[in-house]
């Protein structure tokens, strides 16, 4: 069974640009969650999608948005990039919504904002 895949793995953008990250969950998994990892803040929850609907949202500004498609693939978009958005963005999939002990993480997308 293929694991969670994220594309691209690395991305360099400049301030003010926007970026879209993609996550393909494990086959059959309907929940996709997104996290931001930075050295100072650790892993911070962004949002969770289940059956194409956002079910849960962390404390991030509206510049961070996402969506989920009917095949459970998910995209995360960040608009008007800031230097502080440089981070590793992880997505995780699970069969059920809110199953934190059954999440499988992807390798992440390393975003650098210059």
Q: How many residues bind another protein (CB under 8 A)?
A: 26
**CA distance linking residue 93 with residue 11, whole number of Å:** 22
Query: Which bin fits 22, alpha (ψ -120 to 50), beta or left (φ > 0)?
Result: beta
Judged by CB, which is closer to another protein: 20, or 58? 58
Alpha-carbon span 29 to 49, nearest angstrom = 11
Asked if residue 48 binds another protein (CB under 8 A), the reply is yes
Please, which residue, 81 or 90, has the CB nearer to another protein? 90
Counting contacts by CB under 8 A, is residue 98 touching another protein?
yes
| Number of Cβ within a 10 Å radius of residue 58 | 14
Q: Residues in the site for another protein, rule: CB under 8 A?
A: 4, 35, 39-45, 48, 55-56, 58, 90, 92, 97-98, 100-108
């Amino acid at each position: 069974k293929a694991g969670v895949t994220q594309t691209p793995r690395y991305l360099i953008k400049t301030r003010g640009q926007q970026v879209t990250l993609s996550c393909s969950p494990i086959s059959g998994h309907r929940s996709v969650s997104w996290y931001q990892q930075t050295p100072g803040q650790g892993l911070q929850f962004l949002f969770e999608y289940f059956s194409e609907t956002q079910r849960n949202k962390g404390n991030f500004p509206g510049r961070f948005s996402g969506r989920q498609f009917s095949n459970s693939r998910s995209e995360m978009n960040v608009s008007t990039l800031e230097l502080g958005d440089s981070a590793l963005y992880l997505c995780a999939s699970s069969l059920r919504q809110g199953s934190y002990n059954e999440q499988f993480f992807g390798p992440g997308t390393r975003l650098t904002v210059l």
